[in-house]
A and B are shown apart, each in its own frame.
Chain A
Amino acid sequence: MPIPMPPSTVAAAPARIGRPHRPHRSRPPALALVVALAAGLLPGSARAERDVLSERAFLDELPVVLSASRLAQPVSEAPSATTVIDRDMIRASGARSVDELLRWVPGFQVGQRSGFLPLATYHGLSDESPRRMLVRIDGRSSYTPYYVSGTEWHKLTVDLDDIERIEVVRGSNAAAFGSQAFLGVVNIITRNPAQSPAARLHLAHGENGVRDRSASVSRRFGPGALRLSLGRDGDAGVDGLADSWRRHRADLRFDLQLDAAQRIEVHAGGTRLDGGAGRAHSVVNPEREMTSDGEFALLRWRWQPSSDEELSIAYAHEHNRLEDRYRIDALEEALVRDFGFDPARADAALTSFGLGPGAFVLVDYDAEAVREDLELEHTFAPHADLRLVWGLGARTDRIDSSAPLMASARERYRSQRLFGNLEWRASPRWIFNIGLMIEDGSYVGTLASPRLAANYRLAEGQVMRAAVSRTARRPTAFERRSDMRFHEANSGLLLERRYQTPARLGEETITAYELGYLAELPRWQSSIDLRVFEERAESLISYARRAAADDRFDGLALEAGNNADATVRGAEVSATWRPALTTWLTLNYALLDIDGTDPAFNASAPRHSGSLLAAWTPASHWQLSLAWHHVDEMGWYAAPDQRLDSYQRADLRVARSFSLGPGRGELALVMQSIGSRTEDFRRGLGNGPRGFLSLRLEL
């Protein structure tokens, strides 16, 4: 039997058998609706009042622009360790997608399972489908509920150029974001459309089939601003896999200021990815084409009477689909190649099952998930020294699969949440944060995730932070209800049971203690962020092979259980010297030691890892940036023979910006994995060295 492997989060299908049945195919006309709204219902393009002689500039009311949600909390005042990745860093990194940027956050592990299946987690504790970290875009969770769950990075519709900043919360933050923020949170904040250039064009072209094209337009309509970004990306995937992919994406944001205090935001988008999946020489997981697509729309109303107070209500609807169906005809070969039977035994086995030469299996991973989420959040300052954020929310995930992948073909997952965080500035030196999230919903009862943090200002620009938190994570729908069976198509005979439903499955918990030190040294144009931590994870959910009486191949099935405890101890340090916005040097280092009951978890993070990101403007219009990483040996897989050797990776980017008529542009050469290829997921699979050219034009 090969490595125990849950089906791909986005699985696969070459021997495609016609168009698969796609339940509930109606697409929410989110995009069309929003465009129509923007085009038709907006007030006429209001010209700025050009009468210089009016007193209105002095007397008019103005909308609250820097509202509580727009104002970034200084890292030194945050109750958790936070790394901010800004636009300049995104640009200088040469990254083509958000996940790549996490390489420059201490304590993160990033790998490439296939060309379009990047993996990212914080502090290990993950298999090849990380699901203990939350990614949010403008407040919307991008956590996909089907299959093994987690973040489908390729479903992020956001264009890197539209990102204002990424705030990475290192450590559990369930008190603010819910139990999916078990190990960390990546908060992506996009630019207000009013700030986006009127038009932007970006092309990237290079080795390994890198072909990225994107275009974006933005317009202001009086009190409204609209941005539409479209893109088509793709490359030839990872060396060693037939996983070339093409992705189309659209992302729209529309902001409308109703009056001085009220604002409406519409976010909508969609993606469609076509890519190769499967392995060469595998019968049960053959090389094939698969499709993953989805759309979302979010409507948010904000009431912002001042920079201190904000009330928002958001409704989000999201629809994700996966199409991956194929047929296995060579059952005997499957037993030999994929289940390790010797040929004689395989033949005997099939005969004993009464299966003749015409027998075949239809593998159907098609699934679709519809999410609805409603959230209310209120921030206000009940007193000059107090700031309270509280809110409540409800979410429903409806997961349909055309072949049973779970105990029920139509699975419902509901959760409700009530959360609050009180920030108390007890004195100019002390800030205390008390937070609590209470979640209730399917599978397990009410869970509470509290957090307590104290920040103490040692001296000007120097802060110590101590925090303790406890987070409880509910099982995902797949963990709790997985029941994946494969039948012979003609006879209906159950052959293999890959997953079975556990009799009981509880929540997993993590109790985290941390001590942090932050120093801003303006004299040296530098900052230092140091953190030591201990995270005690208990009842961690993992898949283990358990007896399955009706499995005819090996009598075993994967079953989720609260199987392991693990303690993660370590330290992280990040130091930045930034003499100018476009010139800096950042060094990150993380020491991680995982000690637990499961050797796979113990090896799930590198003991030492470090990175460097430097940018330099040697002459006007030129920018040079260099990135480097070192990652000690680690493993995304359970099996010791699948562990990765330690590796290093170096990237270089040279960019020249220029003026072009009324606009401006930038031409850049990016070279990745210079000198050697990088294997960051599994031995034998890797990328690089590769280079590509990028051209960006803005008006």
Chain B
Amino acid sequence: MRIGRPTLLLLALALLLMLAGAPVRAQLAIVTSAPGGAHAESLSTLRAKLQATLPGTRIDAIDWSELSRARLDGSRVVVSIGTLAARAVERIAPTQPVLHILLPAAAYHNLPPRPPGTGPVSAIWLDQPPQRQLRLIRLALPDWDRVAVLASADGGPGVEAIRGETEALGLTLTSARVGSDADLYPALREALTEPAVLIATPDPLIFNSYSVQNVLLAAYGHRSPVLGLSPAYVRAGALLGLYSTPAQIGTEAAGIVRDLLLGKAMPPPSPPSIFAVAINAAVARSLEIELPPAEQLTAALMAWQEDDR
């Protein structure tokens, strides 16, 4: 095959640019649900990590309320941060690969089905896998073999998933149903008849900023530790917390985006694989529970996760 001189020149130029470490001229659109707070933290980490691994990547940050199909033109990958942004993106149903982050698993599963011809979609949701939660309980509280969960009348997210994992770890699960606010305290009493580790679930009917007071006080009154799903829980009085910070999720998203930009396939939706453990030492002291340091628990969980792969 004969190559014309101009083509040869262009190829040489491309080779030169690649050798000089020139950026892949990729485009990333990030749609956010809120301008500040956790959403901004995920955004800035994602941006920084991506700039570090793929310097020069052009990133366009768009507020969900200003999103239009035109704004996504030219982007090779779309990332949404938060549920509002995920819904806005799905309304447009872009043809590009879409990664949703910083949303609960339930919100992801509730997104409208994608029409044919649209790009691949995936997510890193906020929920920790039940197996990881139960494994943490085993590691931190080896003497405790009871776990308790509260469920909304409609089942609520996460309860069945936890139930499915308890037996393998030698744990017994008790659960109680909460139909309304008024049921909360009786349900807690029922679930904690015997002291148990209460696992907080992302069910806003049961665990919201008003009812958390009831939950934590009642559990404490029953000398039952709580496993919370955010650092705020630990600060509020949960003995343990297992969560992924917005920055950790941003970091993980940056890895996926880089792979997508480099042509790799979209991974399936999953819980975050980077996470942190926190403990409330004052609560541990009061409940007379001795806990290993949080760093040691995080490392042990990480090691277990690596082995499991």
Interface residues of A (CB under 8 A from B): 46, 48-68, 70-74, 76-77, 164, 192, 194-195, 197-198, 220, 222-223, 225, 257, 260, 306-308, 384, 520, 581, 662, 664, 699
**Contact (A46, B217) CB under 8 Å given A66-B237, A66-B283, A306-B235:** no
Identify the interface centre among A53, A63, A67, A223: most chain B CB within 10 Å of its CB: A53
A307 touches B185 (CB 8 A): no
- Which of B193, B229, B280 meets A66, CB within 8 Å? B280
Identify the interface centre among A52, A56, A64, A194: most chain B CB within 10 Å of its CB: A52
Nearest A-chain residue to B108, judged by Cβ? A53
Residues facing A in B102-136 (CB within 8 A) are 102-104, 106-107, 110, 126
Report the stretch among B23-31, B203-211, B255-263, B299-307 that lies at the interface.
Answer: B203-211
- Which of B104, B156, B186 meets A58, CB within 8 Å? B104
Residues in B neighbouring A198, C-beta threshold 8 A: 182
How distant is the Cα of A257 from the Cα of B213 in the complex, in angstroms? 10
Interface residues of B (CB under 8 A from A): 33, 37-38, 82-83, 102-104, 106-107, 110, 126, 156-157, 181-182, 185-186, 193, 202-205, 207-214, 216-218, 220-221, 229-230, 232-233, 235-237, 243, 246, 280-283, 285-286, 288
Residues in B neighbouring A220, C-beta threshold 8 A: 181, 210
Nearest A-chain residue to B282, judged by Cβ? A307
Residues in A neighbouring B210, C-beta threshold 8 A: 46, 48, 220, 222-223
Question: What are 16 A-to-B residue pairs whose CB atoms are below 8 Å?
Answer: A48-B210, A50-B205, A55-B103, A55-B104, A58-B126, A58-B229, A58-B230, A62-B212, A62-B230, A62-B233, A62-B236, A63-B213, A70-B237, A71-B282, A71-B286, A74-B288
Residues in B neighbouring A581, C-beta threshold 8 A: 193
Nearest A-chain residue to B208, judged by Cβ? A48
Residues in A neighbouring B110, C-beta threshold 8 A: 53
Residues in B neighbouring A197, C-beta threshold 8 A: 185
Residues in B neighbouring A306, C-beta threshold 8 A: 235, 282
How distant is the Cα of A198 from the Cα of B181 in the complex, in angstroms? 11
Residues in A neighbouring B281, C-beta threshold 8 A: 307-308, 384
Nearest A-chain residue to B204, judged by Cβ? A49
Task: Give, as a whole number of angstroms, the nearest-CB distance from A310 to chain B.
Answer: 10
Residues in A neighbouring B212, C-beta threshold 8 A: 62-63, 65
How distant is the Cα of A51 from the Cα of B214 in the complex, in angstroms? 20
- Which of B37, B235, B243, B288 meets A62, CB within 8 Å? B235
Task: Give, as a whole number of angstroms, the nearest-CB distance from A55 to chain B.
Answer: 5
How distant is the Cα of A320 from the Cα of B212 in the complex, in angstroms? 38
- Which of A50, A59, A192 meets B213, CB within 8 Å? A192
Residues in B neighbouring A51, C-beta threshold 8 A: 204
- Which of B202, B204, B205, B285 meets A77, CB within 8 Å? B285
Residues in B neighbouring A225, C-beta threshold 8 A: 213
How distant is the Cα of A477 from the Cα of B110 in the complex, in angstroms? 71
How distant is the Cα of A531 from the Cα of B75 in the complex, in angstroms? 75
B205 touches A59 (CB 8 A): no
Nearest A-chain residue to B192, judged by Cβ? A581
Residues in B neighbouring A222, C-beta threshold 8 A: 210
What 3 A-B pairs are tightest by C-beta distance, nearest first?
A: A66-B237, A307-B282, A53-B107
B203 touches A195 (CB 8 A): no
B213 touches A65 (CB 8 A): yes
**Contact (A74, B104) CB under 8 Å given A65-B212, A307-B235:** no
Residues in B neighbouring A74, C-beta threshold 8 A: 285-286, 288
How distant is the Cα of A699 from the Cα of B180 in the complex, in angstroms? 13
Nearest A-chain residue to B218, judged by Cβ? A195
How distant is the Cα of A531 from the Cα of B203 in the complex, in angstroms? 48
Nearest A-chain residue to B202, judged by Cβ? A57
How distant is the Cα of A49 from the Cα of B204 in the complex, in angstroms? 6
Residues in A neighbouring B283, C-beta threshold 8 A: 66, 71, 307
How distant is the Cα of A307 from the Cα of B221 in the complex, in angstroms? 16
Residues in A neighbouring B221, C-beta threshold 8 A: 164, 195
Residues in A neighbouring B208, C-beta threshold 8 A: 48-49, 57
How distant is the Cα of A223 from the Cα of B214 in the complex, in angstroms? 12
Nearest A-chain residue to B236, judged by Cβ? A62
Identify the interface centre among A194, A223, A260, A306: most chain B CB within 10 Å of its CB: A194
A50 touches B204 (CB 8 A): yes
How distant is the Cα of A77 from the Cα of B288 in the complex, in angstroms? 10
- Which of A57, A307, A520, A664 meets B229, CB within 8 Å? A57
Identify the interface centre among A58, A225, A307, A308: most chain B CB within 10 Å of its CB: A58
Nearest B-chain residue to A225, judged by Cβ? B213
How distant is the Cα of A39 from the Cα of B184 in the complex, in angstroms? 23
Residues in B neighbouring A308, C-beta threshold 8 A: 281-282
Task: Give, as a whole number of angstroms, the nearest-CB distance from A623 to chain B.
Answer: 14
- Which of B186, B217, B246 meets A59, CB within 8 Å? B246
B235 touches A64 (CB 8 A): yes
Nearest B-chain residue to A51, judged by Cβ? B204
Nearest B-chain residue to A52, judged by Cβ? B106
How distant is the Cα of A71 from the Cα of B281 in the complex, in angstroms? 11
- Which of B213, B220, B230 meets A194, CB within 8 Å? B213
